[in-house]
Amino acid sequence: MANLLRSGAPLMEVEDALASAVANSIRRSGGVPRFSAVAEGVRQAAAVGGDGHVVAAIPTCSPDGVVGRLLDEAARTLVTTMQAGMNLVSPKSATELLADRLLDRIAKAGLDHMVPALIAEGHYTMSQLRELLANLSGSKPMADLRDRFIRHPSGEGLRAPDRRTAAKPLDELLNTGLDDL
């Protein structure tokens, strides 16, 4: 990812690579086999109410390791925001919301440690990088990966959406030799 970002690759290519990296991380770490139970715990904890500052207990069915830590963060944050907004959601919505947050957190954990070097090397300004990371989190491949993760929470068989190939502009096709395409 770092080299891809350094190279100034097109956004679509970076989006695909990120979704692939996140899928890879979930698959290798064993995912969250009881993800729907955690999401239901979040939903119930949020329904207890509160002033938005208090986080109710969330059932401890998180896995060990990095994904477990990130899931815990995502769950606590979601409970707080749901309590504050007094949002009562269906089990399906809670699962989707938590999956969104978890995948976003995994992506940012992986990307953020590159930030100081990318800025120090002059590839990006802070504002450019923040805009790029925001776009990556909200990309279509990440949304598709969210749905796939919900179907494969243990990570087994989880694959990122197929990489997309961008059609080259017509004038580029016409003016470029076949060997160079």
Residue 115-134 contact track with another protein, rule CB under 8 A, x = bound: xxx-xxxx--xxx--x----
Are 149 and 158 a contacting pair, CB within 8 Å?
A: yes
Are 126 and 119 a contacting pair, CB within 8 Å?
A: yes
What is the rounded distance in angstroms from the CA atom of residue 138 to the CA atom of residue 42?
22
From the CB of 130, what's the least distance to another protein, in Å?
7
Question: How many residues would you count in the chain?
Answer: 181
Quote the Cα angle for 141-117-163, to 5°: 20
Judged by CB under 8 A, which of 7, 10, 11, 28 binds another protein? 28
For another protein, the closer CB: 3 or 175: 3
From the CB of 124, what's the least distance to another protein, in Å?
9
From the CB of 143, what's the least distance to another protein, in Å?
18
Where do runs of H (alpha helix) occur along 48-169? Answer: 65-85, 91-112, 115-120, 126-137, 140-151
Residue 164 interacts with another protein (CB under 8 A): yes or no: no
What is the rounded distance in angstroms from the CA atom of residue 181 to the CA atom of residue 177?
7
Residue 6 interacts with another protein (CB under 8 A): yes or no: no
Q: Which residues bind another protein (CB under 8 A)?
A: 21, 24-26, 28-30, 52-55, 64-67, 69-70, 73-74, 76-77, 80-81, 84, 105-106, 108-113, 115-117, 119-122, 125-127, 130
